[in-house]
Amino acid sequence: MLCLIQRVTSASVVVDSQTISEIGPGLLVFVCAMETDTEETAVKAAGRTIRLRIFRDANGRMNRSLIDAGGSMLIVSQFTLGADTKKGNRPGFSQVAGPELGSRLYDRFVAEARLHCRDVRTGEFGAEMSVNLTNDGPVTIWLDIN
């Protein structure tokens, strides 16, 4: 499972001109399930994301997790994270999980996050979305669970 994690001061998702989710300070997490991923992979990815110590402590060091900071989480499915760009100019997506597996693993990631985080919001799986964010730091972390 691939995750692009951004520490944000705010983020929102718009579908068909309607804001469907928004958060204040916390994490915006783009998630991509790969064809070899399992529910165990989704659980592990969610746990690692929540426990990442990327929020500032009293000394200004990145030493606190999302739970420690009391932040929110906005989780958005994004299959394009799994693009194969090794050759040519057109990305390939043959290693990305299909819609059925991708949806199931995305839902498992969300469910696991909700077990540990007080405020979890989501995008809409498979929809055309506009994602708005204000990156804090900027802090952007690439997480590859395989």
Catalytic residue (choose from 19, 36, 80, 134): 80
Active site residue 78: yes
DSSP-derived secondary structure for 10-53: EEEEEETTEEEEEESSEEEEEEE-BTT--HHHHHHHHHHHHH--
DSSP state of 97: P
User: Any bridge partners for residue 142, and if so which?
Assistant: 4
Active site residue 80: yes
Catalytic residue (choose from 79, 109, 122, 125): 79
User: Catalytic amino acids?
Assistant: 78-80
